[in-house]
């Protein structure tokens, strides 16, 4: 090669190496290092702090972020952000497993502690609409502006239900768990906005006259109150028998989609092992494999993270080697103008409109063509290995059905080879986190008629996550997927007859408890496959209802397909993925995604007296010793099949021994 060519090539390489990366974590700030709370064989410490990064809006990895082109830029033309993080790491790096396990926080909260297997655990902020706090993982993202530099505006929707009777003012918020303020209105003139109310989701909206409500606080001053852009006031007060929907022109949307890039860049940086731009040592140590798990909203985040292409970092490398979306039926509505990422699949909320399936499927029913959640990572060769886990409440309350059988409900959708799906039958949303064996069930929710479902899925989830790590780390393929299918007759229409639910006087019924899957028209600015862009039609037009199916049950009323827990194999009652709303808005229908429980009678005489067809506890187990013996037998089989860790096996046996099941009463 001529010397001139060598010089030019060397100069180009030097310039490339010297140029800042188009998207990266630039600085990590360590605020504290404290001992972990839980003692494990390997001593752990918790590192907390904040990280700072920048994004090039023109980079292909970032262009998909809604409104990033309208965000303020630094002197290099990049968009800055920051977020919190916490890392649990072995004090002795030599005892680390080499696995980074990232837990996606749910609405800013998620515990972090020592890991019994030596993994480095990580959580970080990604939700830019949360109020920062000591126990909140949050992100700081910029506001988007219009092309002329002025305010960016658009329609905003807020819903109000189950308010106190006679309440005169309500905060205009979104989300559940940690309500967040909605964007400020462009104008307080109510003639430029709309407020309507409904007696049910299916009822015709009734508009409230513009002179009978105000953007105001009426808590101390009578209507029309004191003007307040963050409050809604109604003449005569709110009636809790109605749901109220407010639509107005908002301004200054946060660029919330940056939360995906923040997670991508943090994990890519921690995986690299390199110091930051200021020389701060990488706090994760030596990482060889990366795995992520997200539960509910956080699992939706992982589905969107993969779908939107964020599993490829700025250098085109894979970010997560494996992901576990747990109890996640939708995509997260984060990459939207005026987004509410903390919603819960209620009326008018986005999340289910996009791609919901791992394999390619033609969504003819909604006219949206063929797509897959893996399309982008397949094109960039960065797809993670996937273990999807979920339970009964996701069918009943979160519209899981089309992800398995499509929007026409005609056939089972095949899974790609790199995906496993495990169903945890007859559990509430996330299963009982208290666990154990409780014949009376978990405490009843104040708004639900039935006791809480005490069937635990935590032990099965921990086993599945161990399988994912082994798949990533050792190439050990997990067992064949286990979930309900049309082919096996497991999925049926949501009515008593099809489900086969047992009947007796006073028995609860699944009729009317399904959260119906609605097909929305959200306007021309909305990108359906990606749940991205802008909702330009508020409220969305309901085009129709998408058919859904739910799992059938046996004579006990318990589901049969999937990976049953020990509790379900040695049942104390009927474990439901649905419950009955007992008070407030929606009374008599499904109670959110809280599962219920109907205990078995203790004796044959008791069940005959109530005409209960389900065998009693004594008929099943004879006495406490017989119950414990069955638990021991099932635990041994569950452990032998790889669906129970040794520590969980011992825990369950101890809980059975210490339970009050058929204990002789004085």
Q: For the stretch 427-454, what's the b/e string if a residue is b when 16 or more beta carbons lie within 10 angstroms of its beta carbon?
A: bbbbbbeebbbbbebbebbebbbbbbbb
Rounded distance between C-alpha atoms, residue 387 and residue 575, angstroms: 24
Cβ neighbours of residue 179 closer than 8 Å, sequence gap 6 or more: 171, 173
Q: What is the DSSP string of 624-659?
A: HHHHHHHHHHHHHHHHHTT-S-HHHHHHHHHHHHHS
Indicate the SS3 state at residue 142. Answer: coil
CA–CA gap between residue 568 and residue 553 (Å, rounded): 12
- Rounded Cα–Cα distance for residues 240 and 208 (Å): 15
610 pLDDT more than 60? yes
Q: Which pLDDT score, from 0 to 100, does residue 17 have?
A: 36
Span 427-447, average pLDDT: 93
pLDDT digits (tens, 9 = 90+) for 157-210: 999 999 998 899 999 998 776 778 899 999 999 999 999 999 999 899 999 999
Q: For 531-574, what is each residue's pLDDT tens digit?
A: 999 999 999 999 999 999 999 999 999 999 999 999 999 999 99
The per-residue pLDDT for range 638-660, each reduced to its tens digit, is 999 999 999 999 999 999 999 99
pLDDT at residue number 178: 73
Q: Residue 132: its pLDDT value, please?
A: 93
Higher pLDDT, 508 or 134: 508
Backbone dihedral region for residue 175 (phi beyond 0: left; psi -120 to 50: alpha; all else: beta)? left
Rounded to an integer, what is the distance from CA 460 to the centroid of its chain? 18
Q: Determine the Cα–Cα distance for residues 290 and 294; give it in Å rounded to an integer.
A: 14
> pTM, whole model, 2 decimals?
0.95
Residue 584's pLDDT band, with cuts at 50, 70 and 90, is confident
Contacts of 583 (CB under 8 A, 6+ apart): 446, 447
Q: At CB < 8 A and 24+ separation, what contacts does 111-114 make?
A: 112/46, 112/86, 112/87, 112/88, 113/36, 113/37, 113/38, 113/44, 113/46, 113/88, 114/36, 114/37, 114/38, 114/39, 114/40, 114/42, 114/43, 114/44, 114/88
Average pLDDT over residues 59-85: 97
Name the fold adopted by 25-143+255-474: Rossmann fold (3.40.50)
Tens digits of residue pLDDT in 382-426: 999 999 999 999 999 999 999 999 999 999 999 999 999 999 999
Average pLDDT, the chain: 94
pLDDT tens column, 228-274:
999 999 999 999 999 999 999 999 999 999 999 999 999 999 999 99
Q: Give the pLDDT of residue 319.
A: 98
How sure is the predictor about 666, in pLDDT bands with cuts at 50, 70 and 90? low
Confidence band, pLDDT 50/70/90 cuts, at residue 430: very high
pLDDT value at 8 more than 60: no
Q: What stretches of 216-334 adopt beta strand conformation (E)?
A: 216-217, 226-227, 231-234, 243-251, 289-295, 322-326
Q: Do residues 565 and 423 lie in contact, with contact meaning Cβ atoms separated by under 8 Å?
A: no
Is-contact 264 257, C-beta < 8 A? no
Domain locations along the chain: 25-143+255-474, 153-251
pLDDT of residue 572: 98
C-alpha–C-alpha distance, residues 610 and 29, integer Å = 64
Over 90: is that where the pLDDT of 362 sits? yes
Q: Say how far apart CA 35 and CA 89 lie, in whole Å.
A: 10
Output the pLDDT for position 242: 94
| HEC readout, 354-387 | CCCCCCCEECCCCCCCEECCCHHHHHHCCCCEEE
**Are 502 and 416 spatial neighbours (Cβ–Cβ below 8 Å)?**
no
- The H or E element that residue 421 is part of is strand 419-424
pLDDT > 70: percent of the chain = 96
pLDDT digits (tens, 9 = 90+) for 457-475: 999 999 999 999 999 999 9
Q: What is the pLDDT of residue 23?
A: 53
Q: Which residue has the tokens 């909305």?
A: 526
pLDDT in the model for residue 6: 34
Q: Are 184 and 230 in contact (CB under 8 A)?
A: yes
Q: For residue 18, is pLDDT > 60?
A: no
Among the listed residues 600, 596, 483, the one whose alpha carbon sits nearest the alpha carbon of residue 550: 483
pLDDT tens digits for 297-354? Answer: 999 999 999 999 999 998 999 999 999 999 999 999 999 999 999 988 999 999 999 9
């Amino acid at each position: 090669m001529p010397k001139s060519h060598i010089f030019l090539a060397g100069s180009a390489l030097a310039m490339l190496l010297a140029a800042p990366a188009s998207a990266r974590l630039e600085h990590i700030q360590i605020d504290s290092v404290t001992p972990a709370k839980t003692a494990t064989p390997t001593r752990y410490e918790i590192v907390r702090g904040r990280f700072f990064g920048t994004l090039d809006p023109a980079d292909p990895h970032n262009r998909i972020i809604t409104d990033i082109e309208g965000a303020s830029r630094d002197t290099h033309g990049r968009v800055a952000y920051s977020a919190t993080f916490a890392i649990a790491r072995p004090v002795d790096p030599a005892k680390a497993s080499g696995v980074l396990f990232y837990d996606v926080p749910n609405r800013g909260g998620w515990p972090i502690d020592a890991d019994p297997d030596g993994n480095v655990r990580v959580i970080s902020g990604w939700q830019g609409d949360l109020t920062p706090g000591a126990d909140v993982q949050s992100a700081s993202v910029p506001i988007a502006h219009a092309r002329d530099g002025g305010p960016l505006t658009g329609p905003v929707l807020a819903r109000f239900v189950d308010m106190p009777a006679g309440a005169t003012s309500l905060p205009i918020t979104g989300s559940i768990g940690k309500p967040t303020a909605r964007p400020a209105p462009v104008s307080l003139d109510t003639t430029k906005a709309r407020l309507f109310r409904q007696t049910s989701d299916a009822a015709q909206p009734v508009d409230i006259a513009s002179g009978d409500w105000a953007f105001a606080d009426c808590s101390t001053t009578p209507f029309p109150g004191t003007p307040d852009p963050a409050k809604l006031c109604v003449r005569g007060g709110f009636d809790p028998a109605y749901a109220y929907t407010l639509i107005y022109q908002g301004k200054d949307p946060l660029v919330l989609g940056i939360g995906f890039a923040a997670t991508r860049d943090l994990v890519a940086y921690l995986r690299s092992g390199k110091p930051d731009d200021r020389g701060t040592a990488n706090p994760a140590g030596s990482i060889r494999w990366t795995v992520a798990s997200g539960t509910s909203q956080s699992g939706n985040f992982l589905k969107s993270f993969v779908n939107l292409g964020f599993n490829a970092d700025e250098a085109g490398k894979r970010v997560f080697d494996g992901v576990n979306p747990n109890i996640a039926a939708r995509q997260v509505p984060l990459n939207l103008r005026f987004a509410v990422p903390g919603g819960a699949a209620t009326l008018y909320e986005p999340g289910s409109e996009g791609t919901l399936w791992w394999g390619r499927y033609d969504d003819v029913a909604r006219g949206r063509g063929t797509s897959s959640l893996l399309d982008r990572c397949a094109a960039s060769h960065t797809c993670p290995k996937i273990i999807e886990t979920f339970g009964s409440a996701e069918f009943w309350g979160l519209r899981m059905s089309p992800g398995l059988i499509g929007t026409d409900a005609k056939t089972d959708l095949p899974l790609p080879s790199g995906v496993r799906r495990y169903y945890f039958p007859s559990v509430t949303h996330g299963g009982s986190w208290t666990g154990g064996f409780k014949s009376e069930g978990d405490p009843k929710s104040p708004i639900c008629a039935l006791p809480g479902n005490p069937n635990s899925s935590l032990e099965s989830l921990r086993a599945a996550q161990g399988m994912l790590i082994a798949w990533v780390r050792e190439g050990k393929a997990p067992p064949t997927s286990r979930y309900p299918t049309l082919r096996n007759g497991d999925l049926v229409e949501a009515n008593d007859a099809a489900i086969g639910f047992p009947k007796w006087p006073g028995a609860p019924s699944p009729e009317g408890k399904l959260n119906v899957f609605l097909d929305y028209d959200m306007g021309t600015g909305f990108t359906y496959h990606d749940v991205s862009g802008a909702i330009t039609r508020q409220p969305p037009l309901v085009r129709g209802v998408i058919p859904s199916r739910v799992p059938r049950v046996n004579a006990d009323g318990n589901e049969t397909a999937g990976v049953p827990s020990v509790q379900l194999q040695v049942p104390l009652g009927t474990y439901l993925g649905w419950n009955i709303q007992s008070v407030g808005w929606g009374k008599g229908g499904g109670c959110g995604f809280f599962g219920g429980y109907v205990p078995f009678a203790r004796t044959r005489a008791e069940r005959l007296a109530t005409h209960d067809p389900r065998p009693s506890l004594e008929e099943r187990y004879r006495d406490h010793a017989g119950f414990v013996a069955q638990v021991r037998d099932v635990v041994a089989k569950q452990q032998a099949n790889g669906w129970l860790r040794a520590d969980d096996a011992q825990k369950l046996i101890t809980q059975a021994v210490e339970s009050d099941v058929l204990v002789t009463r004085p």
